[in-house]
């Protein structure tokens, strides 16, 4: 049970981190890579697709946040939550650093 709790904390952070680039590009009217582009994750999706994808990630992150009871603010839970944010943020920065050069 404890392992599932920490997994939920980690992925809540990861989903919340994934909201930011898709939402910002989407509401700015800029195309941005998404899982629905061709090629997947490399090609560009429309701003509307990115806003919808951001909202899906927001709902998923919120549900995991609630499931993990992160509102209780336990230090270990928050550390795992922020680790999820950090890991996905760093991975995305490495993946998307060349999106304008191709």
Angstrom distances, CA of residue 73 to CA of 17, 33, 66, 76 = 19, 34, 12, 9
The model's pLDDT over 66-95, given as tens digits with 9 standing for 90+, comes to 888 766 678 888 899 999 999 999 998 988
Model pLDDT, residue 12: 95
Instruction: At 36, list the tokens.
Output: 């629905």
End-to-end CA distance of the chain: 45
Per-residue model confidence (pLDDT) at position 96: 79
- The full set of domain ranges for the chain reads 2-96
List the chain residues with pLDDT less than 50. Answer: 102
Give the pLDDT confidence score for residue 1 in this predicted structure: 59
């Amino acid at each position: 049970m404890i392992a599932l709790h920490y997994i939920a904390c980690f992925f809540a952070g990861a989903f919340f981190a994934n909201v930011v680039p898709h939402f910002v590009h989407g509401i700015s009217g800029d195309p941005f890579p998404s899982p629905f582009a061709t090629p997947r994750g490399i090609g560009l999706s429309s701003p509307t697709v990115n806003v919808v994808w951001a909202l899906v990630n927001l709902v998923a992150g919120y549900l995991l946040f609630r499931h993990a009871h992160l509102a209780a603010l336990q230090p270990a839970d928050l550390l795992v939550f922020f680790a999820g944010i950090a890991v996905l943020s760093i991975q995305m920065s490495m993946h998307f650093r060349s999106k304008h050069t191709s």
